[in-house]
C-alpha cells in the first residue's frame, strides 16, 4: 500500500524545476546551466525510483514532470508511465501530462505527435507554432477533453496571447 505522505525532497526538486521554467534564458551559457540542473534532477529521480521513494500520486506526477524535461526517449517514456499511473490514482493534472509525455516520446523516436501538445517558439515571428508532424485522427471525440488537452487552435491562442500587448 502506498504511503500517505509525499516525498518532500521530490517536491523541492519539482519546485526548483518549475522555477527554472519561469525564466527566460538568453545566453548559451544559461541554457547549458539549465540543462545541467535538469540532468541532476533526472538522475536523482531515477535514484528515488530505484529506492522505492516515489509512491504517491503527487510523487509520480512530480517525477514525471522532471523527467519530461529530459532529452532521451527513455526519459519521456518513463514520464509517460509515471503520469499515467498518477492519473489513474486520481491526479487530474497528470491527465494532460500523460498526453504531453506521449507526444514528446513519439517525436523523440521520429513519429508524429498524436495529441498536439508540443509547440515551439519562433523567435523571428515572436510566436509559438505547433511542432509538426501531428497525426490525431485515431482518437475518440471526447478523449482530448477528458485528458484536459485543449485544441491546437485554443492552445496557440493561449501561448501567443502574451505577445499581443
pLDDT tens-place string over residues 137-154 = 666 566 666 676 656 556
More confident residue, 25 or 49: 49
**ω before 133 within 30° of 0 (cis)?**
yes
* pTM for this predicted structure: 0.79
Q: Decide if pLDDT at 62 tops 90.
A: yes
Q: Which of the four pLDDT bands, split at 50, 70 and 90, describes residue 33?
A: very high
Taking residue 140's Cβ as centre, other Cβ atoms within 10 Å add up to 8
pLDDT at 64 exceeding the cut of 70: yes
For residue 165, the model assigns a pLDDT of 46
- What mean pLDDT is reported for the chain? 83
Cell reading at 106:
513519439
Helical axes 93-108 vs 73-88, angle rounded to 10°: 160
pLDDT digits (tens, 9 = 90+) for 99-118: 999 999 998 999 888 887 87
Nearest in space to 103 (alpha carbons), one of 59, 55, 139? 139
Q: pLDDT tens digits, residue range 69-110?
A: 999 999 999 999 999 999 999 999 999 999 999 999 998 999
Amino acid at each position: 500500500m502506498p504511503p500517505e505522505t509525499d516525498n518532500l525532497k521530490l517536491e523541492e526538486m519539482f519546485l526548483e524545476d518549475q522555477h527554472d521554467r519561469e525564466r527566460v534564458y538568453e545566453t548559451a551559457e544559461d541554457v547549458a546551466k539549465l540543462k545541467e540542473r535538469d540532468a541532476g534532477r533526472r538522475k536523482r529521480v531515477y535514484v528515488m525510483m530505484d529506492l522505492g521513494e516515489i509512491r504517491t500520486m503527487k510523487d509520480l506526477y512530480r517525477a514525471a514532470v522532471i523527467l519530461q524535461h529530459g532529452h532521451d526517449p527513455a526519459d519521456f517514456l518513463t514520464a509517460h508511465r509515471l503520469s499515467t499511473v498518477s492519473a489513474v490514482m486520481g491526479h487530474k493534472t497528470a491527465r494532460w501530462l500523460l498526453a504531453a509525455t506521449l507526444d514528446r516520446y513519439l517525436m523523440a523516436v521520429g513519429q508524429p505527435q498524436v495529441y498536439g501538445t508540443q509547440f515551439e517558439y519562433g523567435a523571428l515571428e515572436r510566436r509559438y507554432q505547433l511542432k509538426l508532424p501531428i497525426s490525431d485522427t485515431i482518437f475518440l471525440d471526447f478523449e482530448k477533453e477528458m485528458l484536459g488537452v485543449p485544441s491546437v487552435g485554443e492552445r496557440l491562442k493561449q501561448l501567443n496571447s502574451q505577445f499581443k500587448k
